[in-house]
Amino acid sequence: MDQTMRRVQKGALTYYVCTRLPVRHAFTTKFGGVSAGPCESLNLGFGRGDTEENVRKNYALLADALGVPAARFTLTKQIHEDEVSVVSEQESGMGLQKPMAWQSDAIITALGDTPLVGFGADCVVTLLYDPAARVCGVCHAGWRGTAKGILGKTVAQMAEKLGAHPETMVAVMGPSIHQECFETDSDVPDEMERLLGAMVRPFVMEKGEKFHVDLQGVNAALLARAGLRPENIVDSGLCTMCEHQTFWSHRHTNGVRGVQAGVICL
């Protein structure tokens, strides 16, 4: 675990924060909610076999812990693409209080008291914050989103649409599957190299007939290419597969699971 990460316990609720982010934020774990069965206990995803009532109660618990308005939680509709959407007042609360009107794996905002939520259960969920422009974002990237460069595109959209400055921006990659556990066939690194070029080669390790991809390494390189300073790029170092007792891991559960979230709020 990176030295800037801290485990926080508030009653039964357990989550992680990063000392580099001076705004309300969290990377949640499995612990502290009311869900039961395969989604026990802090499941924050709808459509996982959990009840809507349980999921909404879990958001209320998280809102209380973080001191954010539950009615303004704004969610992403993640489809492993590279769309980035700006959250204005009209979209605040979308996905929880309002119908979802987009399919975006990244959302960004300059609004205060508007917690942005991205989901993961092995994928890389990154929280972004620029203290100079006072804007933030959350980005979900599996290997497909990584290959399409969504994290770099999120930075570019924060700069273009919200006036962010990449050189002052901080990015924290939350709990996600790390290289040793992310075993694939050749199709994954081949497709990533087709889309990103030779830059991915240092982040691919061959093991017999299988390949292990360092998604955090690729995304850190994309962030640096987008203008972030290396010292402002943080990998939490927490592997969802290794630490599946604490975090949801799609691979460990074969997809029978809840989801954790990365949350950030100005």
DSSP code per residue over 206-261: EETTEEEE-HHHHHHHHHHHTT--GGGEEE----TTTTTTTS--HHHHTT-S--EE
Q: Which of 203, 253, 234, 247 is nearest to 31 (CA)?
A: 247
Q: Provide the whole-model pTM.
A: 0.98
Q: In what order do the strands lie in the sheet with 170-173?
A: 84-86, 106-109, 135-141, 124-130, 170-173, 233-235
Q: Which of 170, 149, 148, 167 is nearest to 236 (CA)?
A: 170
Rounded to the nearest angstrom, the gap between the alpha carbon of residue 126 and the centroid of all alpha carbons in its chain is 4
Q: What is the pLDDT of residue 101?
A: 87
**At 39, phi and psi to the nearest 5?**
-100, 10
At position 166, the amino acid (one-letter code) is P
**How confident is the prediction along the chain (266 residues), in pLDDT tens digits per residue?**
999 999 999 999 999 999 999 999 999 999 999 999 999 999 999 999 999 999 999 999 999 999 999 999 999 999 999 999 999 999 999 999 999 888 999 999 999 999 999 999 999 999 999 999 999 999 999 999 999 999 999 999 999 999 999 999 999 999 999 999 999 999 999 999 999 999 999 999 999 999 999 999 999 999 999 999 999 999 999 999 999 999 999 999 999 999 999 999 99
The kind and range of the H/E element at 75 are strand 74-75
Q: What's the fold here for domain 5-265?
A: CNF1/YfiH-like putative cysteine hydrolases (3.60.140)
In the chain, what are the domain boundaries?
5-265
Helix (H, G, I), strand (E, B) or coil at 203: helix
